[in-house]
Amino acid sequence: MSDKELKSSWLCSIDIEFDAPTVATTSLVVINVSKMNLEGPRLKAKGIMPSGDWAQIQDNGNWKVDARLAFETDDGETIYCYYQGVVRMTEELNERFANGETLTSDDIYIATSPNFWTASEKYAWVNDIISVGRAASFGGGKLTYDLYEIL
């Protein structure tokens, strides 16, 4: 029997600062990103605004993430990132989040599947990778992701 281990490599961290979510409907919140930094061994970039997340609230309270982000690399190239994902949100976690508490990956499950697009020749490799993200912390107007390239 073969070993069915999924191999990955750390790609980068994304630090996001966001405004208080706007409740558009009972099942949709809009989260405006006010500041972002992306940093890893092959990428370093700052956020371009507007960027944000249009989270759909499911009947069970969990969130379906729908994020659109834009970055400018430290050498002036533009990279677009979009991702979907899930936030497993209980009533207790939602209350803690609403009170400004920072939740860690030990508290809450937040996973995403970022995709990247760029016209840059230097960073064209991001167009051809699959990545996954796990939130390290979430709350108090901040979100930190670690992204991993699937090998």
Distance CA 18, CA 21 (A): 8
What is the domain partition of the chain in residue ranges? 8-150
What was the pLDDT predicted at 134? 98
Q: Write the CB contacts of 43 (distance below 8 Å, at least 6 apart in sequence).
A: 11, 12, 73, 79, 123, 126
Q: What does the pLDDT read at residue 1?
A: 54
Distance CA 34, CA 141 (A): 10
pLDDT reported for residue 3: 82
**From 3.40.50.720, 3.40.640.10, 3.40.50.11930, 2.40.160.20, which CATH number describes the 8-150 domain?**
2.40.160.20
Owner of token pair 């699959």: 130
The neighbouring-strand residues paired with 46 are 37, 72
pLDDT tens track, the chain, 151 positions: 578 999 999 999 999 999 999 999 999 999 999 999 999 999 999 999 999 999 999 999 999 999 999 999 999 999 999 999 999 999 999 899 889 999 999 999 999 999 999 999 999 999 999 999 999 999 999 999 999 999 9
From residue 9, how far is each of 108, 146, 148 by CA, in Å?
A: 23, 11, 5
Q: What is the pTM of this model?
A: 0.92
Contact between residue 16 and residue 8 where contact means Cβ atoms under 8 Å apart: no
